A = this chain, B = another copy of it.
């Protein structure tokens, strides 16, 4: 699966968020990191359309400016997208990675913004519908500048999984993804690191086995509930 990340930021090199996300994809395969460049106020329509056609998952990644996409991304839409793309984009996935300068909780009724991200970004949902693309659940980065190191580690993993896994991803898929990443790391690691990673892997596998047991118990209960419309 080829994933295209379209970075719609006027100055990605100056954005701590975009630099963090860029570092997060360095280890990933099948990712095409594409920063929109604002130099000549013009996009090569043919080249941009080819990029879209080559990809099965297209991710629009941007900060929210005035409760909307930044103008560089809007210009890309206005100059690149044509009706002829309809047949070529149908069935592809559209992901949205949006980072916020205000707290995510402000984007609701009674919040300081008062509009949900789902409402504010509905033009992109309408575009996805137009091209018969499948819109993935929003990936929201809640004020990166305020995040702790631990929150950023969680963000990194969630972002990588958002890019690499089928969406929405099941718990099992996320676990398998973790184990596969651990195996990769082990191959690259030195002696002592390898032992530590081995330990983590064993703990993770044990937990996965526990969870599988638990699910086997819960599964019939849930089915029974659903049959009774509970």
Contact B66 A81 (CB under 8 A): yes
CB distance from A52 to the nearest CB of B (A): 14
Which A residues, 46 to 99, have Cβ-Cβ distances below 8 Å to chain B? 65-71, 74-75, 77-79, 81
Which of chain B's residues has its CB closest to A119's CB?
A: B122
Does residue A166 face the partner (Cβ distance < 8 Å to B)?
A: no
Given contacts A66-B77, A113-B126, A122-B122, 4 further A-B contacts (CB under 8 A): A67-B123, A67-B127, A68-B123, A70-B78
Residues of chain B within 8 A of A130, CB atoms compared: 67, 113
List B contacts of A70 (CB < 8 A). Answer: 74, 78
Cβ contact within 8 Å between B120 and A115: no
A137 interface residue (CB < 8 Å to B): no
A126/B122 in contact, CB under 8 A: no
Give the complex CA separation of A10 and B114 in angstroms: 31
Known contacts A41-B41, A119-B119; A126/B67 CB under 8 A: yes
Q: How many residues of A contact B (CB 8 A)?
A: 27
- Asked whether A129 is an interface residue with its Cβ less than 8 Å from the other chain, the reply is yes
Footprint of B on A, CB under 8 Å? 10, 41, 65-71, 74-75, 77-79, 81, 113-115, 119-120, 122-123, 125-127, 129-130
How close is A193's CB to chain B, nearest CB, in angstroms?
A: 46
With both beta carbons as reference points, the residue of chain B lying nearest to A76 in the complex is identified as B71
Minimal beta-carbon separation of A119 from chain B (angstroms): 5
Contacting pair A71 B77 (CB below 8 A): yes
Contact partner of A71 (CB less than 8 A), chosen from B10, B75, B127, is B75
Residue of B74, B115, B127 touching A125 (CB-CB under 8 A): B115
Bound CA span A196–B80, Å: 54
CA distance A70 to B120 in the complex (A): 15
- How far is it, in angstroms, between the C-alpha of A38 and the C-alpha of B51 when the chains are bound? 27
Which residue on B lies nearest to A39, using beta carbons?
A: B41
Please determine whether B127 and A66 come into contact, CB atoms closer than 8 angstroms: yes
Give chain B nearest CB distance to A214 CB in angstroms: 40
Shortest A95–chain B CB gap in Å is 17
Task: Output the residue of A67, A81, A115, A123 with the most chain B CB within 10 A.
Answer: A123
